[in-house]
Structure 1
Amino acid sequence: MKKLFLIALTILATTSLPLWLLAQQVSFIPQWRPQAQFAGYYVAYKKGFYKKYGIDVKILTGGPEAPSSEYLAKGKADFATMWLSTAIQMRAHGVKLINIAQIVQRSALMLVARKDKVKSLQDINGQMVGVWGKCFQIPLKAFFKKYHLKVKLIQMSSINLFLRGGVNITSAMWYNEYHTILMSGVDPDELTTFFFYKYDLNCPEDGIYTLEATFKKHPILCRNFVKASIEGWLYAFSHPEEAVDIILQCMLKAHVPMANKAHQRWMLDRMKDIILPPYGKLLAEDYYRVAHILKEQGLINRIPKFEDFYKETYVQP
């Protein structure tokens, strides 16, 4: 230990940098494969923003084979992104993770319907609704319950069932599946859309999480990781063409199919619409809205204290 301390002092003397600013190696995993949904992190990495704050980041590839929630809980990653609803469930079930930055402020979840079949809320009643993963179902069920709609949920793995007329309504993310529908040749005027945030069901999605122990041990590291990440997002929004090129490079490197430039540009533009000031701040009203929905659906027995769940790390300059 004494030898390591002397080495650290030597490095400090030769670099004129504080010890906490010396490069720290960390791993980070988004909840899906490379795409513009995570542009800010890849841009921050490629432009050297993490290194500027003394952080050597290894970005892992998320997805079904590598769930970000599982990687964080098991210590396979130091930082992870995930939906707020997922994180609250984990905290309520004993995983001591914390939100250190709520990146998405406005939910991008929506219902998309064929206008010739669905023109209003009440037209949804009695219909089959295509749905994706479990996290999609939480706000969906809350929506149907709030407006007294009885539907049959149909699990989908692609948008094809909707495109072929197998269902008249599907859940979608504004920045992803909705644009895929448009790119398939469907005109926006042929569709009826229901954005959940407009129905008092704003359940913000992506946030940055770490374990409570990591934050207690390395608070400055956590703050710097968030700061560099938000700088990456702001740079991406002000340099969209460069940001999309970076994303396409990362997609190709990760062997992600469908590296479509037009789709990634749409996705980045929509992320700009839902990543809003105050950047990185989790609002208590959003937290408790999501937590109460989870409790009403029997997914958690208790609501963790907001003060235990969220640690503010970023103050906008």
Structure 2
Amino acid sequence: MPRRFPAILFAVVAALPAFAADKVTFATNWRAEAEHGGFYQAVADGTYARHGLDVKIVQGGPQVNTQILLAAGRVDFAMGANTIEMLEAVQQNVPIVAVASMFQIDPVIFMSHPGEGFDRFEDLPKATAFIAGAVRASVWQWLKKAYGFRDEKIKPYGFNSAPFIADKKSIQEGLLTSEPYAVEKQGGFKPNVFLLHDYGYDSYSTTIQTRADTVEKKPDLVQRFVDASIIGWYHYMYGDNAAANAAIKRGNPDITDGQIAFSIEKMKERGIVDSGDSLTLGVGAMTDARMKSFFDKMVKAGVSPADLDYGKGYTLRFINRKVGLELRPQ
């Protein structure tokens, strides 16, 4: 005969409070775009929720400094642009730590006009170069040391490609996933694209950063956010990403379906998210060897001091665990 439980027991169980997800705020470094897709995916498909997280994504932009927001405790996690940012934070004693890198390849590029004498990378130092201040302080210093680029060729880049389109003897900085598409639409030609990673610039990109005290006091929260973000990126790159793209367009009405499709195509084509160490360690992977390689380049270029304790700026504690590897198409 089945056991019977008093009705009052069921009433007590029903009255128990539901599990409350941890509220988390994550700041991106630009307006919503496909390059942030894995994070929007993890919200849209419930991956964060399944990891006990209620995540709010706060968009960045040209006037938003996500590292300041993070250091001040106004957000819990923030998207870092590249390894340079991490080195600068250590140098300035800002207590934030990179805990994962969603992009194995920094998509920073130079573009040139085809058939104008700048079809090879070794030709580029001769061209007028439209670059922004952040690139001049970092990437450009490495290019000068490694490839002979010269300061007198610089013209300021104000995130408008019109001057580059008009000057056929120029080059312009950009991201593999963005500016080539805009130039082709605006200028009516397909630019030569040089991914700096192919020439030795081995920065990580699209990192997840948090405060050092969060790593120390809330490691479980960090682990869950990192794991869920990794799974979100697998789903975005290899699964149904329609809901995430709809969320991106709601957040950034100026972005087009064409731009989103182009960005995803280029991320897949060049392994921006999933290549190298991520093939065996999982998306989000970082290694000490890669960090040292990049740091040594920045020291040689005069960007970072040789005695910088750059290891304070990152941790491998939450990654390289093969999380989500089974989601990668075989």
In the alignment, is the contact (CA less than 8 A) between 2:101 and 2:207 conserved in 1?
A: yes
**Pairing 1:265–2:267 present:** no
Q: Structure 1: where are the runs of 5+ without partners?
A: 1-9
Give the alignment's Cα RMSD to 1 decimal.
2.5
TM-score normalised per structure 2: 0.81
C-alpha displacement of 1:89: 0.9
| Map 1:242-253 → 2, pairs under 5 A | 242-243=242-243, 246-252=244-250
- One-letter amino acid of the counterpart of residue 23, structure 1: A
| Map 1:229-244 → 2, pairs under 5 A | 229-239=229-239, 242-243=242-243
Listed one character per residue, the Cα deviations across residues 36-75 of structure 1 (whole Å, up to 9, x for unaligned) are 1100111111111111111111211111222211111211
C-alpha separation in 1, matches of 2:203 and 2:182 = 23
Give 1:316's match in structure 2, choosing from 304, 308, 322.
322
Q: Tell me what 1:156 maps to.
A: 157
**Pairing 1:108–2:107 present:** yes
| Bigger Rg, structure 1 or 2 | 2
C-alpha displacement of 1:182: 2.2
Q: Tell me what 1:6 maps to.
A: none
Q: Tell me what 2:290 maps to.
A: 286
Q: Tell me what 1:226 maps to.
A: 226
Which is further off, 55-64 or 208-217?
55-64
Quickly say closer, same or farther: Cα 1:143–1:298, change in 2 above 3 A: closer
In the alignment, is the contact (CA less than 8 A) between 2:137 and 2:303 conserved in 1?
A: no
TM-score normalised per structure 1: 0.85
Quickly say closer, same or farther: Cα 1:112–1:123, change in 2 above 3 A: same
C-alpha separation in 2, matches of 1:299 and 1:67 = 21
C-alpha separation in 2, matches of 1:78 and 1:236 = 23
C-alpha separation in 2, matches of 1:240 and 1:50 = 16
Identity %: 20
Q: Tell me what 2:177 maps to.
A: 175
C-alpha displacement of 1:257: 4.8
C-alpha separation in 1, matches of 2:136 and 2:204 = 12
- The alignment covers a number of residue pairs equal to 297
Q: Tell me what 1:7 maps to.
A: none
Listed one character per residue, the Cα deviations across residues 11-58 of structure 1 (whole Å, up to 9, x for unaligned) are 9x94797xxxx4111111011111111001111111111111111112
In the alignment, is the contact (CA less than 8 A) between 1:161 and 1:167 conserved in 2?
A: no
In the alignment, is the contact (CA less than 8 A) between 2:96 and 2:313 conserved in 1?
A: no
> In structure 1, the residue corresponding to 2:103 is in which secondary structure?
coil
> In structure 1, the residue corresponding to 2:231 is in which secondary structure?
helix
C-alpha separation in 2, matches of 1:31 and 1:150 = 29
Which is further off, 201-210 or 143-152?
143-152
Q: Tell me what 1:214 maps to.
A: 214
Q: Tell me what 1:87 maps to.
A: 86
In the alignment, is the contact (CA less than 8 A) between 1:34 and 1:250 conserved in 2?
A: yes
- One-letter amino acid of the counterpart of residue 169, structure 1: I
C-alpha separation in 2, matches of 1:141 and 1:240 = 41
- One-letter amino acid of the counterpart of residue 308, structure 2: I
Q: Tell me what 1:127 maps to.
A: 127
Give 1:33's match in structure 2, choosing from 10, 31, 34.
31
- One-letter amino acid of the counterpart of residue 288, structure 1: K
C-alpha separation in 2, matches of 1:74 and 1:166 = 45
